[in-house]
């Protein structure tokens, strides 16, 4: 325990904040790290895909993982530089197999190497059906497609991912979140939005008809405002999925990049929590649109973390990251992004929550403003450094050196 942490702990105690309790709470929070940052959302299918879905990673920084083995090696490095015990979020087209199954033929065995890797490292796994980068997604319609044959293909794919996710959860003894995002929408203004949304609703019902053990697998549905090729209308809007999640008792996914840039996504948490049991949070950083930049510890992320803590939503919220930047070192993007989320959570846990809430209940707006602003000067960095030291995770210049050394090691991949 460092002298600076001792001093910081005493200073927080003066504000009636227990720094040790904050560290204990942070150590219990697992963040789901997205596999697709490591290879630019390419996947490892042996069948050639097409562009359907509007997924786009920009840049060509050297070092992209080309195989499952390379991706797992990159993840091993990244996890070793992130304090705490976390999870991996795996998309269905990251299968690790010598076979060439189409999406409606995938089975658990195609992902067994990922499960064995996760078990060896004590990690949890989450999962996602992949409704993009496939010939049957080229119309930007999948579950909402007017062609029943295409809908059937994607319904089968989604149903299989639920089975796979459930088996992953059973094998690892940790609930696997199976998050459903579809790119369905229209580039220009449609005349029959209702028909498309009815098809999507019915397809979801069919896809999720098979009961699963909730302790093993949790369904989640994810909305989006718009995307490339679906600028005029997204079938699975926020209102659509909020209604579906509330009615069907599945988790609602809020992605910070999937709303209008002027919307405060943190503000939505307390509202949706009154209607749904479980929340999945995808932390991202949109810039003008859903561009998925590496997250910073900026006001948006700190507001999100504070809302989770102050609203008591951490036990009901699964936190995952969702960004992909190929203009910088991919492993660095993982490490910095996850650590920034952890820093934001720690800052929220170290705020004088009880005093702030009591002042607000008394309608003393002046005191609330003073307390909130003065709390910004508390020594959060010293507590974060202690958290990293206890986990044997580097900070500062040591972290920079580690990240640069690993990037140099993988740069020759081409």
Active-site residue among 86, 282, 318, 343? 282
Residues paired with residue 218 on neighbouring β-strands, in sequence order:
177
Classify 133 in phi/psi space as left (phi over 0), alpha (psi -120 to 50) or beta.
left
Q: Do the bridges between strand 31-34 and strand 87-91 make them parallel or antiparallel, or are there none, so unpaired? A: parallel
Q: Is 85 exposed, middle or buried (0-12, 13-18, 19+ CB in 10 A)?
A: middle
Tokens 């959860």, residue located: 169
Of 200, 274, 277, give the one whose Cα is nearest residue 236.
200
181 in catalytic set: yes
Active-site residue among 222, 300, 325, 402? 222
Active-site residue among 224, 238, 318, 343? 224
278 in catalytic set: no
Active-site residue among 34, 258, 268, 318? 258
34 in catalytic set: no
The Cα–Cα gap between 69 and 53 comes to: 26
292 in catalytic set: yes
290 in catalytic set: yes
Active-site residue among 45, 96, 300, 322? 322
322 in catalytic set: yes
Active-site residue among 36, 114, 154, 181? 181
Please report, to the nearest 10 degrees, the dihedral formed by the alpha carbons of residues 381, 382, 386, 387 taken in order.
-30
Active-site residue among 39, 45, 126, 255? 255
258 in catalytic set: yes
Active-site residue among 39, 290, 300, 307? 290
Q: What is the DSSP string of 50-94?
A: --TT--------S----SHHHHHHHHHHHHHTS-S--EEEEEGGG
- Residues designated catalytic: 181, 222, 224, 255, 258, 282, 290, 292, 322
């Amino acid at each position: 325990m460092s002298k600076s942490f001792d001093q910081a702990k005493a200073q927080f105690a003066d504000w009636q904040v227990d720094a040790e309790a904050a560290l204990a709470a942070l150590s219990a929070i697992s963040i789901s790290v997205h596999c697709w940052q490591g290879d630019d959302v390419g996947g490892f299918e042996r069948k050639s895909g097409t562009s359907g879905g509007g997924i786009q990673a920009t840049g060509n920084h050297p070092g992209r993982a080309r195989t499952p083995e390379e991706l797992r090696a990159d993840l091993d490095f990244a996890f070793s530089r992130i304090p705490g015990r976390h999870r991996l979020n795996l998309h269905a087209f990251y299968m690790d197999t010598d076979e060439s199954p189409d999406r409606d033929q995938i089975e658990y065995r195609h992902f067994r190497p990922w499960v064995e890797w996760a078990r060896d490292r004590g990690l949890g796994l989450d999962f996602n059906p992949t409704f993009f980068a496939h010939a049957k997604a080229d119309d930007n319609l999948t579950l909402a497609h007017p062609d029943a044959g295409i809908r059937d293909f994607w319904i089968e794919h989604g149903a299989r991912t639920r089975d796979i996710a459930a088996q992953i959860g059973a094998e690892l003894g940790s609930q696997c979140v199976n998050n459903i995002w579809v790119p369905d929408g229209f580039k220009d203004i449609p005349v029959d939005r209702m028909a498309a949304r009815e098809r999507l609703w019915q397809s979801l019902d069919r896809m999720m008809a098979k009961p699963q053990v909730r302790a093993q697998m949790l369904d989640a549905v994810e909305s989006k405002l718009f995307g490339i090729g679906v600028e005029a209308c997204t079938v699975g809007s926020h209102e659509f999925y909020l209604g579906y999640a509330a009615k069907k008792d599945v988790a609602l996914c809020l992605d910070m990049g999937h709303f209008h840039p002027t919307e405060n996504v943190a503000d939505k948490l307390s509202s949706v929590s009154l209607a749904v049991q479980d929340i999945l949070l995808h932390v991202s950083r949109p810039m003008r649109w859903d561009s998925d930049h590496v997250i910073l510890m900026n006001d948006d992320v700190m507001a999100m973390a504070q809302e989770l803590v102050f609203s008591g939503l951490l036990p009901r919220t699964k936190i995952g990251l969702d960004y992909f930047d190929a203009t910088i070192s991919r492993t660095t993007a993982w490490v910095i992004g996850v650590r920034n989320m952890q820093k934001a959570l720690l800052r929220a846990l170290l705020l004088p929550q009880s005093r702030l809430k009591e002042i607000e209940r008394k309608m003393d707006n002046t005191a609330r403003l003073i307390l909130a602003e003065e709390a910004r000067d508390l020594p959060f960095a010293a507590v974060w450094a202690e958290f990293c030291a206890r986990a044997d995770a580097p900070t500062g210049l040591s972290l920079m050196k580690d990240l640069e050394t690993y990037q140099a090691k993988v740069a020759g991949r081409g």
